[in-house]
Each structure stands twice: as C-alpha cells, then as structure tokens.
Amino acid sequence: MNVTVFGTGYVGLVQGAILADVGHHVICVDVDAEKVQRLSRGEIPIYEPGLESLVKENFAAGRLEFTTDAEVGVKHAQVQFIAVGTPSDEDGSADLKYVLKVAQTIAEYMQCNQIIIDKSTVPVGTADKVKATVAEVLSARNRGDLNFDVVSNPEFLKEGSAVADCQRPDRIIIGTESETTVEVMRELYAPFNRNHDKVIVMDVKSAELTKYAANCMLATKISFMNEIANLSELLGADIEKVRQGIGSDPRIGYHFIYPGIGYGGSCFPKDVQALIRSANDIDFDAKLLKAVEARNQEQKTTLFTKINRHFEGKLKDKTFAIWGLSFKPNTDDMREAPSRVLMEALWQAGAKVQAFDPEAMEETQRIYGNRDNLMLCGTKEAVLKGADALVILTEWQSFRAPDFELIKSQLSEPVVFDGRNMFEPHRMHAKGFVYYSVGRQKR
C-alpha cells in the first residue's frame, strides 16, 4: 500500500519505518528541511534502539523516502498519517496548529478520495476540526466531489522501545464510523496483527479520549507511588518493600509503580495538562488529574531539597556530578526531564554541574549551550573528578553496577543522591557512602 506520513519525529519516523519494513511504500513529509536532508543521508536525528538500521535498510530499498514537498506526499497515497507535534499551548491545552496545518495542506493537494489518520495525540473533537478544515479547503478549490474520512488512530509507543512497540502493538485503536475505513486500516496493519486480533474499533471521540486516558492513568500511577514514597520516607518505611508488597496483588501488578523524581518526556506532562484543560472547557473540574500534576511538579524538586539540606544551604561553588540527563533510559529526549529542573535549581543556587548521559549529551548541549557552570564529560567516571556529590537522575543500565571504590576516591565527600533507587541503602552504607534515595531512609 502507498502511505504518506506527515511529521518525522518519534512517532512519524518510527511509524514510517516499520510500515516500510513490511513492504508498504512510505513517503515521510516534514517541514524541517535540515531533518529531511539528514534522514536522506541516513542520519537519524533521534536515538531510538533499532531505528537506524530500519530506516537505512528501507531507504536503500526505496520503500522509505523523505521529502519537504507536501504535494509529492499527498499525491503519493490515499492514506495520509498526521504525526506532527501537539505541544502544550500557554493555557495547557493541546496546540493544534501543526495538525490543522497538515489537514489544510492535504486538502490543497488532494486529487482522489483519502483516508486521513490522526496519529498525533489530540483532544476529543479534533477529528471534527480536521474534517472541517479539509472540507473548507476542498470547497474553496471546488473539489467538494472528493470524499475523505478522518480516522483517529492514536499511538501508544514508548520512547526507548518505540520500534518494538510499533512492530508488536498491544492494541490498534481505530476510531471511525466508516466500515470502508476500518477495512483499509485493517489491511494497512495486517502485518502487525497476526498473533491475535489487536484491532479495537470504536467511535472517533472514544478513540481520541482513549489515548489521553491511557497516559493519564500511567501518570496517575507514578504520582501515586511518589506520594506514597514521600509518606514512606517520613513514616520510616521503605517504599521498595511497599512497592513489592502491593505489586504482588494482581489487581495492582508490578508494572509502572516505581517511585522516583517525577515523570517527564513529551507526553505525560502535556497530556495530563491537556485533559485538565479539555475538562475545564466543559466546566468539569478534573480534581484527580490536577493532583497528579501538582504531585509531579513537586516531586521534581524533592532531590534538590535533599541536596540543599545536606549541604545546609551552602551550594555556592559546590560541584555536582550528574549521571543521566534524559527523562528516562534508552532515549535522548530531554523534554520535561527532571534533570533540567534539578540542574537549573543547582545553578540558581550557585553550584556547578559535571554531567554525563549515554545518549542525551548532544541534546543537553543544544538546550543549554556553552556555560561556565555546566561541563559535559565523555564518561560516567569523568564527571566524578573533584565533585562534591554524585546525583543519579536516569536509571540507565550502565549505571547499575558501577565501581564504587572509584566513585568514593573521586568525590570530595562520599555522598550519593539517587533519584531512581538504583542501589540498596544498607550496601551503600557498608561501602562508606552517605546515601539518599526516594521513599527510604538516609543511610
């Protein structure tokens, strides 16, 4: 099948690549000319395991192309994915300008009947707005004879395992009233739907809301655990024991109940905010979601509070070694990362940062540029030299079994602030560290 994907970010690029890999002929359109050039040279602008080889192989085979020319994209296929960003607007609502711009573009070049797929995460009612935008342009072109359907097909991939998630989706949500559209979508996704039927067909609004409900549920789990972790710390309990204790109940389960320093990334923060805003627009007070968000904002500051308390407020000219900058492992994404909140608070207090991340160094450099109080180091060992404490912000695999003697010998004081509970407090204590973690007692 010929397919066009608008947007070559985490969602569009991965989607385009996996569709090409099963034999569809995919053209990816992006307005970012530099990105398109890089992709056409085989350079992958983001870090996502397995993506580079997938893009290169399918590009070489001619099944995956990149262009800035929207006309070429629209004329290529009868199936058009919209996979552009939906960032938070100033009031927290989802900004639909990129989505609606693509809708307009598709309508400008449309020559035949089309299925337009909303892959971006968009509030309930967006498909109607896309429909209205397309209809308006078609009418201005006197092409009201062209038929089109707008289907909601939200994406559930996780950054860090995006390729695998798209190749083996848990579910394929199809929101449409049209049986013809369902049939085309089923054919499109057939290669990913072999083991058992993962397609769930529903009305458009329910599909749109499903995506927000999923992300808000996951964010709620995190904020809930963080709340219990904070309580646990104050009450003298151990959150890791509590986590195992509750996870053993199959109704709760072990997944996604890790305490930490708050959720980040491009999705949870903005999607929770957008649903709060959507609720507000219809005079519904989303009390629970507001609490989830508030807990998360506060959680991102908890490690700084511990650091500040430990050093009795004297952070000026102190140096902190930081392990992990991306908002979670296996990605270079720094959007809404807790590391940013912590580093900025340290800088504000006059401290310096020496940081390492296996993948997010370039992105950190891009965001913060060159500054006196940030030194990006090539290895996790190099950041330790002369630092006053080690701070762990992302649970990368390569941080799990470090050389503790080396850490101790390099730090001016053997103090570790661990935002991800990577180690056992009693072991850290036995090794001679002062060890702060989340939801457990200082050792």
Chain positions contacting ligand NAD, by CB under 6 A: 6-12, 29-32, 35, 83-86, 98, 101-102, 120-121, 155, 157, 159, 266-267
Q: Which is nearer to ligand NAD, 366 or 427 (CB)?
A: 366
Q: Which amino acid is at 7?
A: G
In the bound state with ligand NAD, the residue whose beta carbon lies nearer, of 267 and 374, is 267
Question: What angle, 0 to 180 degrees and rounded to 10, lies between the N-to-C axes of helices 239-247 and 204-235?
Answer: 140
Least distance from C-beta 366 to ligand NAD, angstroms?
A: 14
Question: What amino acid is encoded at 239 in this protein?
Answer: I
Least distance to ligand NAD from the beta carbon of 173, Å? 12
The amino acid present at 430, given as its one-letter code, is A
Return the number of the residue (102 or 292) whose C-beta is nearest ligand NAD.
Answer: 102
Q: Least CB distance from residue 275 to ligand NAD, whole Å?
A: 12
The string over 276-290, giving b where at least 16 C-beta atoms fall within 10 Å of a residue's C-beta and e elsewhere, is bbbeeeeeeebeebe
The residue among 295 and 328 lying less far from ligand NAD, judged by its C-beta, is 328
Identity of the residue, 84 or 376, whose beta carbon is nearer to ligand NAD in the bound complex: 84
Shortest CB 28 distance to ligand NAD, Å: 9
> Do residues 3 and 24 make contact, with C-beta atoms less than 8 angstroms apart?
yes
Which among 28, 166, 216, 267 is annotated as catalytic?
Answer: 267
Q: How far is the CB of 133 from ligand NAD (least distance, A)?
A: 12
Determine how many CB atoms are found less than 10 A away from the CB of residue 348.
10
Whichever of 102 and 322 has its CB closer to ligand NAD, that residue is 102
Residue nearest ligand NAD, CB atom distance? 9
Catalytic-residue membership of 166: no
CB of 45 to ligand NAD, least distance (A): 8
User: What is each CA distance from 215 to 15, 72, 157, 222, 393, in whole angstroms?
Assistant: 19, 34, 11, 11, 22
CB of 11 to ligand NAD, least distance (A): 4
Nearer to ligand NAD, 98 or 435 (CB): 98
Q: How far is the CB of 101 from ligand NAD (least distance, A)?
A: 4
| Residue number with CB closer to ligand NAD (30 or 240) | 30
Q: Which residues are part of the catalytic machinery?
A: 267
